[in-house]
Chains A and B, each alone.
Chain A
Amino acid sequence: MVESDHSSKVGARTYSYYPGCSLHGTAAEYDISTQLVCQKLGIELRELEEWVCCGASAAHSTDHLLSLALPAHTLKQAEEKGLPLAVPCAMCFSRLRTTIHEIKNKDTLNLVNSAIGKELGEPVAVESMLQMLADESISLPVTKPLNGLKVACYYGCLLARPPEVVGIDDAENPQTMERLLVRLGAEAIDWGLKTTCCGAGVAFPRLDIVLKLSHRLLSLAQKSGADCVAVACPMCHANLDMYQKDMIAKFGQKTKLPVIYFTQLMGLALGFSPKELLLDKHLTDPLPMLREKELA
C-alpha cells in the first residue's frame, strides 16, 4: 500500500494559483483579499513555484512567439501539477487563454514547444478568479451583507473579449460579477460601459487618452447612481483609482468614486475588516463611503 501524502491531498476545490506580477506589487490588496476569501470559502490555492511573467502588453506588441511562450511556460508547470489554474489578473488570464486557443494550431504548438524546450500536453483548465468565485455552487457564509451598497460592476476589455476565448456569459452585458455581488446583499446598477476600455497601458505614452476614457467610465458610473466601482483587473484598478485627482483637474469631476476589487467586497461581506483587506491602500479612499453605509 502506498502511504498517502497528507500535505498534497487534493480537495474538491484545490487550484494552482498564478498571481502574476501585479499581485506581487501594486495590486497586493487584490492578492491578499483573494487569499482571505478563498481560505474562508474552503478553496485551497497553491501558488506555482516558478511562474513567470505572462508577457502582458509588452510581449504581444513586440514578439508574437514570445507572447505565447511566456504563458506556455506557466501552463506547463500547471499541467505538471494537474490542477485547474486560478488567475486573478485579467491580463494574465487573457494571455493564458489566448495561448491555449492559439496552440490548437499544430504548427504554432511546435514553435511554442521548441521555444520553451518542453512538450506541452493537454492544457489544464484556466479560470479567472471572477468566474471561479462566482460559481453558484459555492455557498457564501455572509456575516455582514452589503445592504444599501450600489455597485457598478466593471469588467474591462480582457475578461469579456474575445468571447470565444474567454467564455463569458455575454461579452456586451455580462452578469457574472453582478450575480455574485447581489448574493452578498449589494445592489448592482445597470450601466452601459462595463466592458469598455479604461485606456490600459496607454497611460505611459498618452496619459491624456487614459484620463478621457477612464473619466468617461467613472462619470457614467456615478451618474448611474453607483457608490463604487468593482473591478477584477489590476490595470483597470490602477487607471481608475490612481488618476482621479488628474481627472478632477482636467474635467472638473465633482466627487471621487472609490474603485474596489470585487474580492475586497466579498471579504467585507464574509466578515473581514477593511484593514485586513487592505482597503486603506487605495488612492481614492473608500473608507468614508463604507463607513457611511455602515460597512466599515
Chain B
Amino acid sequence: MSRIGVFVCHCGTNIGGIVNVPEVVEAAKAMPLVAYADENKYTCSEVGQGSIRDAIREQKLDRVVVAACSPRMHENTFRKTVATAGLNPYLLEIANLREHCSWVHSDSKKATAKAIDHVRMAVAKVARHESLFPKQVGLTKRALVIGGGITGIQAALDIASAGHEVVLVEKEPSVGGRMSQLDKTFPTLDCSACILTPKMVDVAQHPNITLLSYSEVKEVRGFVGNFEVDILKKAKMVDHKTCTGCGTCWQKCPEKVTSEFDLGLGQRTAIYIPFAQAVPNKPVIDMENCRYQKYLKWTQTEEGKKPPECRICEKLCPTKSIAWEQQEEIVTEKFGALVVATGFKTFDHSVYGEYGAGRYPDVISSLQLERLMSAAGPTEGEVLRPSDNTHPKNIVFIQCVGSRDDKVGRPYCSKVCCMYTAKHAIMLKEHDPEVQCYVFYIDIRAGGKDFEEFARRAQDESGAVYLRGRVSQIYQDGKTLKVLGEDSLIGRPVEIDADLVVLATGMEASEDADRLAQTLHISYNIYNFLIEAHPKLRPVETQTDGVFVAGAAVGPRDIPDCVAHGSAAAAKVIGLLSQDSLTTDPLTAIVAPMKCVGCFACKAVCPFNAIEEQTTRDGRIIASVNESLCKGCGLCVVACRPGAINLRGFTNQQLLSEVMTLVRR
C-alpha cells in the first residue's frame, strides 16, 4: 500500500486568495492512500521544500503530490526535493492549482471544489507512478557551426577557445557575412572591416577550427551528442592546399562579371575572391562565367563562334594550383552539437512599383550605399551616383522598405534600419559638407545603448531633415529624381528634388532557411526565421536538443545582439560538450514487443524521427523507440492501434485512473 503525502501551496495570495487551502488539505486527508497532508505559504521556498523532505522521512511517504503552480514552473524543483529525501524523482505529481484554477476563477467556493478535484486526480495518478531511471549515452565532443557571418565566427571562436573542435561551414567563398559589406557600424562609427577582419583571421588560424568555405549542409541525422552531418563541398577548381593566394590569377583573368559582393555596383573576375580581405584569401572559379568552361562547352557542339581557350590563370599560377579535375564532394562528419547561424538577406525592393521597382539607377538600397561608402568598395569610398558618377547633394532616405508593411507581407520591424540610416546621414555629411539628407520615417526606433543620442545627432549636428510620412511616388525628371511624399506632422504633401534615393531595405530570412530547419527538425515562423525554444528564457536553444540558433537567422538583430547570441549559443555548446555522457529524459514512449504488429503508424506521426525498426528473435519487424530522440509527446501512443505503445510517466493506466476518479467522485 502506498503512503502518499499531499502538500498544498498558498502561493502567497495567488492560490490562497481564491482557493480555501485548509479545506483542500482536509479533503486530501480523506482521500484513499493519502497518509499525510499539509499546507505551506510558499512550497517552493527553502522552508516549504524542507517540510516535504521532513514529512517523507517522518511519515515514511513513498509518493508525493504537490498542489501548487504549473509543472512547467517547478516540477524540476520538486523532483529534486523528493530525490534529496531518498525518493525516486518520478514518484511525484503536480496538481496545478494556480494557472488551472485560482488564476482563472473568481468564485471561491467553486474554485475550492475544483482544486479538490485536481488533488484527487493527482493522487489517483501518482499511486500508479513507477520509479524511472534516466539513461546515459556517449557524445562526440565536436561542434558544427553553420554560417560564417559575425554570429557564426563568434560562436566558433568561443567554442574552440574552450578546447573543443569546431567545423565552421560557410556557403560563400569567404567568411564575413553581411558585416563584411558594411562600411561603418552604429552608434560608434567603428570601421566594420577593422573590427571584423581580425576575427575572420582568428577563425582561419585557430588550431581547433576547421573552416569549410564554399560548402553547405545537406543532411543531418542522429540526435544530441551524436549527430551525423553530410556537408557538400562545392568545387573550387583551385587546390587550396598549394595555393598561396598570391593574386596573379584574379589580377590577370580577362573575364569580368558583376560582383555579388558589391551588389551590382562593381565587377569581379571569373576566378575570384569576393573582397580583398577575404578569408580564406584563396580564389574559387565561377564555372558559369569561366572562359575555359565556355570553351569546353563549345567543343561538345561546335556550334557558333569558337570561344578562346583562355586558361590564363593556369598558365600564370606559380604553384600549379588550378585544378580543373576538381569535383564537388559530400563529406560526412560527426558532431555532438550544432549551431545554426545562417543570418539574413536584405529585402528585394523591386516589388515597390512606387519607388521605381528597380528601374531608376539612382534609387539604391542601403546596403548598396554601404558599398559606395566603403574604402574597399567599387568607388573606393567616394559616394557617386550609379547613373553618371557625379556627387549627389540632395539625398532622400526612405525607411521601412520591406518592414512594417503588410502590403508586401513583411509586417515586422527590421530593427536596424532607423539606426543605419542615421549613420548614413551622419557619414554622408562628413564625406561632403554640401550634402543635404532627408529621411522619410514612420517612427524612429532607437532603443539601445547610445542609440537615441545617435539618432538625434543625425538631425541636430548633421542637419538631416526628418519627415514623418511615407513616399507615394518617385519619378525620373531628367537627371533629378522627384520624390513625392507626405509630411504627416504638418499634414501636407512634400516634393523633394533628389540626386540619390536610398531605400532602407529590411531583413529577411536567408535563402533556404526553411529547408535547413526541416533538415534539423527545428521550427521556423511564416517568414522563415528560426524559432527558439523560449523567446525569453531559452533564446538560443531549440526544440531539438543539441541544436542551437543564434544571430539574425532567428529574427532581425544588430551586430552586438548577434555577437551576444553567438557567444550564448557557444556557452550552451560548451556546457553540453563538457559532459562525458548525456543523461536522457526517461519520460519517453516504450513499445510492448508482444503487442506490436509492425504497422508503423507510429513512425508516420512521430515528429522527431524517433521510431526505429527492430527485428525480434522470431523474425518479426516491430517498432522500437530511440530514447535519445523521443520527446515524449505521445502522438505514437494515440496512433498505435493495438495499444502497444505507452508513455512513461503518462501511461494510459495513469491517465485513465485520473479520469475514473473524477467520474466516481
Binding site for B on A (CB under 8 A): 170-173, 191-193, 196, 220, 223
Contact = CB atoms under 8 A, between A and B. Distances in A.
B353 A193 contact: no
Interface in B468-520: 473-478, 482
Contacts of B604: none
Interface centre among A171, A172, A173, A191 (most CB of B within 10 A): A172
Interface string B353-392: 1101101000000000000000000000000000000000
Given A171-B353, A172-B357, A196 B477 contact: no
Contacts of B359: 173
B353 A223 contact: no
Contacts of B474: 192
A213 to B, nearest CB: 11
Nearest to A160: B353
Nearest to B356: A192
B477 A173 contact: no
B661 to A, nearest CB: 50
A220 B475 contact: yes
Counting chain B residues whose Cβ lies within 8 A of the other chain, the interface size class is 10 to 19
A220 B477 CA distance: 7
Nearest to B360: A192
8 contacts: A173-B357, A173-B359, A192-B475, A192-B476, A192-B482, A220-B475, A223-B477, A223-B478
A215 B353 CA distance: 23
A192 B482 CA distance: 9
A182 B261 CA distance: 38
A84 to B, nearest CB: 28
A193 B357 CA distance: 14
A188 to B, nearest CB: 15
Contacts of B353: 170-173
A193 B478 contact: no
Contacts of A192: 356, 473-477, 482
Contacts of B356: 192
Contacts of A196: 473, 475
A191 B474 CA distance: 11
A280 B477 CA distance: 31
Would you list the 8 A-B pairs with minimal beta carbon distance, nearest first? A192-B475, A172-B353, A192-B476, A172-B354, A193-B475, A220-B477, A173-B353, A170-B353
Interface string B441-477: 0000000000000000000000000000000011111
Contacts of A170: 353
A31 B477 CA distance: 34
A56 B475 CA distance: 29
Given A192-B356, A192-B482, A223-B477, 4 more contacts: A170-B353, A172-B353, A192-B477, A220-B475
Interface of B: 353-354, 356-357, 359, 473-478, 482
Interface centre among B353, B359, B482 (most CB of A within 10 A): B353
Contacts of A173: 353, 357, 359
Chain A interface mostly: loop
B550 to A, nearest CB: 39
Contacts of B476: 192
Contacts of B357: 172-173
B500 to A, nearest CB: 16
Nearest to A192: B475
Nearest to B475: A192
A173 B476 CA distance: 13
B620 to A, nearest CB: 59
Nearest to B474: A192
B269 to A, nearest CB: 33
A13 B285 CA distance: 58
Nearest to A219: B477
Contacts of B475: 191-193, 196, 220
Contacts of B482: 192
A220 B481 CA distance: 12
Contacts of A193: 475
B362 to A, nearest CB: 13
Nearest to A163: B353
A136 B482 CA distance: 34
A73 to B, nearest CB: 34
A106 to B, nearest CB: 25
Contacts of B478: 223
A278 to B, nearest CB: 32
Nearest to A194: B475
A170 B357 CA distance: 11
Nearest to A173: B353
A191 B475 CA distance: 8
Interface centre among A173, A191, A192, A223 (most CB of B within 10 A): A192
A193 to B, nearest CB: 6
A86 B477 CA distance: 35
A108 B395 CA distance: 47
A171 B472 CA distance: 13
Contacts of B477: 192, 220, 223
Nearest to A174: B353
A50 to B, nearest CB: 40
Nearest to A191: B475
A81 B323 CA distance: 74
A17 B649 CA distance: 75
Contacts of A223: 477-478
Nearest to A172: B353
Nearest to B355: A172
A170 B359 CA distance: 14
A193 B356 CA distance: 11
Nearest to B477: A220
Interface centre among B357, B359, B474, B477 (most CB of A within 10 A): B477
B348 to A, nearest CB: 16
A171 B357 CA distance: 11
A152 to B, nearest CB: 12
A223 B482 CA distance: 14
A218 to B, nearest CB: 13
A10 B519 CA distance: 59
Contacts of A171: 353
B204 to A, nearest CB: 47
A220 B475 CA distance: 10
Contacts of A220: 475, 477
A68 B475 CA distance: 34
A166 to B, nearest CB: 14
Contacts of B473: 172, 192, 196
B486 to A, nearest CB: 14
Contacts of A172: 353-354, 357, 473
A220 B473 CA distance: 15
A211 to B, nearest CB: 16
A171 B352 CA distance: 10
A223 B476 CA distance: 11
A206 to B, nearest CB: 14
B630 to A, nearest CB: 48
B646 to A, nearest CB: 52
A223 B480 CA distance: 12
B245 to A, nearest CB: 46
A173 B356 CA distance: 8
A178 to B, nearest CB: 14
Nearest to B495: A216
A223 B353 CA distance: 22
B473 to A, nearest CB: 7
A110 to B, nearest CB: 30
A283 B494 CA distance: 32
A174 B478 CA distance: 21
A8 to B, nearest CB: 43
A193 B481 CA distance: 12
Nearest to B353: A172
